[in-house]
Amino acid sequence: MKFGVVVFPGSNCDADCYHVIRNVAQQDVEYIWHQQHDVKGFDALVLPGGFSYGDYLRTGAIARFSPVMPAVIEFARRGGPVIGICNGFQILLEAGLLPGAMLRNRSLTFICETVNLRVNRTDTMFTNRYAKDQILQIPIAHGEGNYYCDNDTLKRLQDNQQILFTYCDSEGRETEEANPNGSVANIAGIINEQGNVLGMMPHPERCSEPILGGSDGLGIFLSVIDWCQGVSRK
Amino acid sequence: MIRANIYVTLKKGVLDPQGEAVSRSLQVMGYQGVQEVRIGKFIQIVLDSDDPEAAGRQLEEMSDKLLANPVIEDFRIEIVAGE
Amino acid sequence: MKELTYRQMGLLDEEYQQIKAILGREPNYLETGMFAVMWSEHCGYKNSRPLLKMFPTEGPQVIQGPGENAGIVDIGDNQALVFKIESHNHPCAIEPYQGAATGVGGIVRDIFTMGARPIALLNSLRFGDLENARVRQLFRGVVAGIAGYGNCLGIPTVGGEVYFHPSYQENPLVNAMCVGLVNRDEIALAVASEVGSPIMLVGAKTGRDGIHGATFASEELTDSSAEKRPSVQVGDPFMEKLLIEACLELIREDLVAGMQDLGAAGLTSSIAETASKKGLGVMVDVTKVPLREEGMTPYEIMLSESQERMLIVPRPGKEERIAEIFAKWGLDAVVIGKVTGDGMFKVYEGEVLVGEVPVTALTEGCPVYVRQGIEPPYYQELKAYDIDNLPDYDLQEALLQLLSSPNIASKKWVYRQYDHQVMTNTVIVPGDGDAAVLRIKSTDKGVALTTDCNSRMVYLDPYRGGKLAVCEAARNLACCGARPLALTNCLNFGNPEKPHIYWQMQNAIRGMADAARVLNTPVVSGNVSLYNESTTAAVFPTPVVGMVGLLQDINQRCTMSFQDEGDMIVLLGQIRTELGGSEYLAVCHRIEAGEVPDADLDEESRLIEMLLELCAKGLIKSAHDISEGGLAVALTESAIKGQMGFRAELPGTAEQVTQVLFSEAPTRVVMSLAAENLEAVEEIASRYQLPLTILGRVGGRRLMISNGGHMLIDLDLDQAAKTWGEALTCIMK
C-alpha cells in the first residue's frame, strides 16, 4: 500500500514518518507538497509534526488553508485513513476534521519526554495491533498540546468512544500527575466519528525501532497497513 | 472598579515574523491588497481602584515591567470603564 | 571624521590613522563603519589571532580546518561532519530569549552554508547565582529561546552543559554548537571564483536590526549597554527552516559556486569574505536590497544584522533555476551586485558610488595585537591556599549537598524543553550518557557529541584547566564508545587589554593546544568572545570545548547507567586525592582555591584507547567519567540512571576518605561489568598500564560506601534520585 506524507512549509517530522513507513514498516511512501491539489493514488495520509508556518498566529491555522487541504478533507470524507501527529493533529483541528482546539501546555514550556499512553480501543484501523488497555511508552514534544473542548463535545467524544489514547501512569490510571500538558480528560489522541481520522500529540514515529529505546509506536502504522490490506484481526 | 485595555505591539522597525508569515499567506489566499500585517497582544485588566490617575500610573508600570517587553514592544493603555 | 564618531563605532585612534593611510584619504561614514565592524574582535580576531596559532589544526581526519564557516572531519563512506561552536553572550544579557534564539540561528546557518544538513545542536551555558531573580529570568529566557528556535527548525538539541557561578551574574555565556552531516562531494565553500558572477541575496528583508552588533559583542557590558537595546535582533526560525531546505536543494543540484550566511557585520562581512579568498573585488548596489523599513541609509543597509539572510554566488547560467527553487519555498532572491576583478569593495546607491575600500584591507588588513600577559597575584595565592586542614564535614551530608548543587543536579528542567529526538537519530539522549550519541541512518555508524569546560579549574590554573577541558571532552566521548576526532572551541574571556586576562588566555589556549595535540583531536573551527566583563569583574575564563567522535558500530555504544544486579563496579585510573578547585570545596566549605589536579596526557590517551577497546569487545556495561563531585557523584549518577543501588568499598586510608570521594582529578572512569569479564578487563588494563580497582557491586535499593569496615554513606536510592533529579526544577518553579 502507499502512504502519503504531507509536507507543509515548516513541517519537520516529515522525514521521520517517511523513514518509519519505508524502512521499518516496509511500505511505499511519497511526500505530498502542500501546493499539490490532489492526493490521488494514496491509500493513507500522514500529516506530520513540526512547526508549519512557524506556528505563527495559531498552531496549524495557516497550514489549514494550504492548497492540498481540500483534497485531504475530501480523502477523509471518503473514509481514507488520515493520521495527524502533533502539528498534524493541530492542523486537523483547525481544518475541522476533528473537534476541539489546542492550548499552550499548562507549564507554558515546551515538553519533550516519554510518557505513558493507554490504548482505549482496539477495534479501530489505528489500534488493531494493540491490546485493550495496553500501556504504550511514546515521546511527546510540543508546546501546545493541551487539548481543549467544551463539555458537550467531551461527552460526545466519550459516548462515541472517540478518545483513542489517554495519558496515564505506569498502572494505566488517568491521573492528574500523568497528564503532561493539562489536556481535558487526559486526552492524547482522538478519532473522528467515522473512525478514519486520527489526531494524536505523541510521536509514534519516534519509537518504532528498538535502537531508539522502544517500538511501541510502530503498531499504529502496522494497524493501518493491516486494515488497508483487509487483514484486520478484529 | 476600573477596566483597562492594554494593546502590546512590536516596536516600529522590529521584525514581526508572525506578521510576515500571515501577510504572505493572506496574499497567497488571494487578498492582494494586503500591505502589511503586524500582530500584537490585547490584554484586559480589572483593577480594584477608584482613582483613574493612580490606576493609570499603575497600569503604566505593569506594562513596562511585565506586560510588554520594552526591548522590542510598545504598549498603549486605554481605560474603558470606571465606576 | 569626528573622533567621537569612530570611537563610538569601536575604532581606536591608531586604527583610524591606519585606515586613512590605506585609503590615502579620510574615510566617509559608511567606510568607517565597514572598517569598524570588520576590525572588531568578533570578525577580525585582532587580539586572539596570535594565540590561536598555537592550536594543532591538521590530521588525516581533517577535511577543513579553521578559516571557513565551520570545520569538517571525515567519517568514512564519503561522509563528513561539519561543526562549529559560537557565542551569543552579549545579546543574551540584553534580551535573553531573542539573544539565544538568534545565536542558534547563526550557528545553524554556518553549517548549512557549507552544504551540510544540520543534525544536532548543543549548547554551553553559564549564569550567575540562581538565588538572584534576574539570573533566573535570564536562564529561563535563554533556555526558552534556544528551545523556541531549535525546536521549530526540527534540529534536535542533544547535549550541552550549564554551570552557575557569581562571576557570570551580569554577563551570562551562551555558546551554541551545531553539527551537520554532508557528503564529501557536496561540500560548499564561501568562495566567489568568477569575475562577472552575480551576487544574490535571499531570505528575510533587511531592517535596522543589530547595527553594530559585532562591535557591541566586543565591548564590555556597562550601564549604558541597556540603551543600545535597539540593536537586538529578532529571530524567525520559520524563515530559517525554509532557507535550510532551499539552500540544500541548491547544493544537491550543484547550482552554486559560493554560499555565505549573513551574520555579524551583515552584508559587509559576508561579501568581503566571499571576495577576499581569491583576491577578487565586488560591487553592490544597496538600492537592490529588499528593505523592511523606509529611509535606510547605505550605512544601515551594509551593516544591518537582520537574521535569516544568505548570500549566493550562482554557477554561471544557473540563476533562473535558483530563483525557481527559492520561489517554491516562498523566498525571494534578488541580485544585488557582482564579482569584479579589481580587488575593490564598491558600494553604490543606484548610480552613485558611496563607498570604496580594498577588500583585503577589511579582512587580512585587520590589525593584530600581540599583548603582554602578566600573571595575576591571585594565581599563586589561591594555589598555595591550605585545603589540607578543613573542618570536618559529614560525608553523607556533603554528597546530598553536591547532588542538589545546580552545577551537578540533573539538567532535566533544561533539556525537557528541547526537542532532542526529532530526526529520530538520538540513540543516547541527554542525561543518559557522558555524551550524546546519534545514529547515522543507513550505516552502522554513530557520532558522539559533547561540550565541556570546568571554568573554575581554568580560573585557578588556566594551563591545567585548558588541558582538563580537552581531556574531559575526549574522555566523555570514549565513555560512550566513540573515538574522539576533532574539536571546536568557544573562547570566552574578559578584556584582553588587561594583562591578567591576556595571561589567562595565553595559558588556557596553550593547555588546550597541548592536550589536543597529544589526544589527536585537532581544532577545526571556533569562535572568540572577549570583553565578557561586568562593572565589577571579568567572568571566569571559559574556553568551551565542543568535540565530535565516531563509533564505527553503534551497537558498541555505552551509557552511564548500571545495568544488572550483581555486576562488578571498578575504577579505571588512579586513586587520586587532590581536592583543589572541586565542587566539594565550593559547596561544602565555600572555598574556591587549591592546586588544580593535572592531567597526564599520555595516561589520558591510554585511558581513551582502553575504553574504546572495552566497548568494541563488549566487556563493560556502563562507563561514567569522574568530574564534578568526584567518585561519589559518579557512582551515584550511574546508580540513579540505572535505578539500581550499589555497595562499594572505598580504597585508601581512613584519613583520605573525603579526598578519595570528592576529588575531581582527571583520567578516571567508573565502570560496571559482568563478573565473568573482570579478568579480561584486568588484563587489558595492565596492557595499557592503567590501574584498575574493584570498588564493589551493583544491587539493592541503597547507595552504600564503606571504608575499612566503616559505613561512610548509606543513602536510599530514591532519596538520592529525588534530591538530584528535582533540585533545579524546584529552584526554577
pLDDT in tens, C611-666: 999 999 999 999 999 999 999 999 999 999 999 999 999 999 999 999 999 999 99
pLDDT at A195: 97
Whether residue A233 is contained in a domain is answered as no
C411, C728 contact by CB (below 8 A): yes
Q: How confident is the model at residue B17 (pLDDT cuts 50, 70, 90)?
A: confident
Grid cell, residue C50, equals: 596570535
Interval C445-474 mean pLDDT: 98
Shortest CA distance from A10: residue in chain B? B21
Q: How confident is the model at residue C228 (pLDDT cuts 50, 70, 90)?
A: very low
Distance set, CA C129 to CA C25, C138, C170, C465, C725 (Å):
51, 11, 10, 22, 19
Binary contact (B21, A53; C-beta < 8 A)? yes
Q: Which residue from C91, C159, C85 is spatially nearest to C432, judged by alpha carbons?
A: C159
For residue A62, list chain B residues with Cβ-Cβ distance below 8 A: 21-22, 25
Whether residue A178 is contained in a domain is answered as yes
pLDDT at C577: 95
For residue range A56-69, list pLDDT tens digits in order.
Answer: 988 999 999 999 99
Of C234, C236, C293, nearest to B72 by CB-CB distance is: C234
pLDDT at B10: 86
Binary contact (B22, A57; C-beta < 8 A)? yes
C465, C55 contact by CB (below 8 A): no
Which structural domain, as residue segments, surrounds residue B69?
2-82
C539, C170 contact by CB (below 8 A): no
For residue range C356-411, list pLDDT tens digits in order.
Answer: 999 999 999 999 999 999 999 999 999 999 888 899 999 999 999 999 999 999 99
Q: Which residue from A108, B69, B62, A114 is spatially nearest to C732, judged by alpha carbons?
A: A108
Q: How confident is the model at residue C221 (pLDDT cuts 50, 70, 90)?
A: low
Q: How confident is the model at residue C217 (pLDDT cuts 50, 70, 90)?
A: low
pLDDT of C191 over the 50 cut: yes
Q: Which residue from A137, A123, A194 is spatially nearest to A167, judged by alpha carbons?
A: A137
pTM of the model: 0.94
Angle of helix C133-153 relative to helix C717-732, nearest 10 degrees, comes to 100
pLDDT of C229 over the 50 cut: no
For residue range C504-560, list pLDDT tens digits in order.
Answer: 999 999 999 999 999 999 999 999 999 999 888 899 999 999 999 999 999 999 999
pLDDT of C584 over the 50 cut: yes
Shortest CA distance from A56: residue in chain B? B18
3-class DSSP assignment, residue C189? coil
pLDDT of C219 over the 90 cut: no
Q: How confident is the model at residue A121 (pLDDT cuts 50, 70, 90)?
A: very high
Whether residue A172 is contained in a domain is answered as yes
Domain count, chain A: 1
Q: What percent of chain A has pLDDT over 70?
A: 98
Sign of the four-CA dihedral C664, C665, C670, C675: negative
Q: How confident is the model at residue B69 (pLDDT cuts 50, 70, 90)?
A: confident
Q: How far apart are CA C169 and CA C533, in angstroms?
A: 10
Chain A contact probe: residue of B18, B26, B31, B38 with most A CBs at under 10 A: B18
pLDDT at A48: 98
For residue range C328-357, list pLDDT tens digits in order.
Answer: 998 989 999 999 999 999 999 999 999 999
Q: Which residue from C638, C724, C96, C639 is spatially nearest to C412, judged by alpha carbons?
A: C724
B7, B75 contact by CB (below 8 A): yes
pLDDT at C218: 54
How far, in whole angstroms, is CA C487 from its chain's centroid? 10
What values do phi and psi take at C639, rounded to 5? -70, -45
Chain A contact probe: residue of B25, B34, B37 with most A CBs at under 10 A: B25
On whether any CB of chain C is under 8 Å from the CB of A61, the answer is no
Which residues of C have a CB under 8 Å from any CB of A?
144, 147-148, 151-154, 236-239, 241-242, 329-330, 415-424, 426-427, 429, 439, 441, 554
Q: What percent of chain C has pLDDT over 90?
A: 86
Q: How far apart are CA C147 and CA C260, in angstroms?
A: 25
**Count of C-beta atoms within a 10 Å radius of residue C538:** 22
For residue range C49-87, list pLDDT tens digits in order.
Answer: 999 999 999 999 999 999 889 999 999 999 999 999 999
Whether residue A185 is contained in a domain is answered as yes
pLDDT at C295: 87
Active site (annotated) includes residue C165: no
Whether residue A139 is contained in a domain is answered as yes
Q: How far apart are CA C121 and CA C244, in angstroms?
A: 15
Grid cell, residue C297, equals: 541609509
For residue A56, list chain B residues with Cβ-Cβ distance below 8 A: 17-18, 21-22, 39
pLDDT at C724: 98
Grid cell, residue C88, equals: 551569543
pLDDT at C457: 98
* C732 CA: distance to closest CA in chain A (Å): 12
Interval C171-191 mean pLDDT: 92
Average pLDDT, chain B: 88
3-class DSSP assignment, residue C172? coil
Whether residue A21 is contained in a domain is answered as yes
DSSP A98: S
Q: How far apart are CA C729 and CA C378, in angstroms?
A: 35
Shortest CA distance from C149: residue in chain A? A54
Which strands make up the sheet holding C692-698, listed edge to edge?
C622-625, C669-673, C568-572, C692-698, C646-649, C702-707, C710-716
Whether residue A234 is contained in a domain is answered as no
B–C CB contacts, 8 A cutoff, strictly below: 40
Binary contact (C236, B20; C-beta < 8 A)? yes
Only one residue has cell 498502572, namely A171
What values do phi and psi take at C526, rounded to 5? 170, -175
C123, C176 contact by CB (below 8 A): yes
How are beta strands C622-625 and C669-673 bridged, if at all? Answer: antiparallel
* A40 CA: distance to closest CA in chain C (Å): 22
pLDDT of B82 over the 80 cut: no
Q: Which residue from C586, C601, C344, C334 is spatially nearest to C472, judged by alpha carbons?
A: C601
Q: How far apart are CA A123 and CA C282, in angstroms?
A: 67
pLDDT at B83: 57
pLDDT of C230 over the 60 cut: no
Q: How confident is the model at residue C213 (pLDDT cuts 50, 70, 90)?
A: low
Average pLDDT, chain A: 95
Which structural domain, as residue segments, surrounds residue A72?
2-228
In CATH, what number is assigned to the domain containing residue A134? 3.40.50.880
For residue range A151-200, list pLDDT tens digits in order.
Answer: 999 999 999 999 999 999 999 999 999 999 999 999 999 999 999 999 99
In CATH, what number is assigned to the domain containing residue B47? 3.30.1280.10
A10, A53 contact by CB (below 8 A): yes
Of A51, A112, A205, nearest to C152 by CB-CB distance is: A51
Label residues C269-289 b or e (16+ Cβ within 10 Å = b): bbbbbbbbbeebbbbbbbebb
Q: How far apart are CA C32 and CA C22, in angstroms?
A: 12
Query: What structural domains and CATH numbers belong to chain C?
Result: 28-36+60-219+233-351 (3.90.650.10), 558-733 (3.90.650.10)
Average pLDDT, chain C: 94
Grid cell, residue C219, equals: 565591548
Only one residue has cell 529566557, namely C141
Domain count, chain B: 1
3-class DSSP assignment, residue C384? coil
pLDDT of C446 over the 90 cut: yes
Cβ-based neighbours of C715, under 8 Å, separated by 6 or more: C396, C399, C400, C636, C702, C703, C704
Q: How far apart are CA C597 and CA C693, in angstroms?
A: 20
For residue range C266-309, list pLDDT tens digits in order.
Answer: 999 999 988 888 889 999 999 999 998 888 999 999 999 999 99
Interval C143-160 mean pLDDT: 97
Q: What percent of chain B has pLDDT over 90?
A: 45
Pick from B16-25, C136-145, C157-166, C173-182: least confident: B16-25
For residue B39, list chain A residues with Cβ-Cβ distance below 8 A: 56-57
- Geometric angle at alpha carbon C217, from C489 and C270, rounded to 5°: 75
**Count of C-beta atoms within a 10 Å radius of residue B46:** 10
Active site (annotated) includes residue C88: yes
Whether residue A45 is contained in a domain is answered as yes
C537, C409 contact by CB (below 8 A): no
* A202 CA: distance to closest CA in chain C (Å): 12
DSSP C138: H
More confident residue, A7 or C7: A7
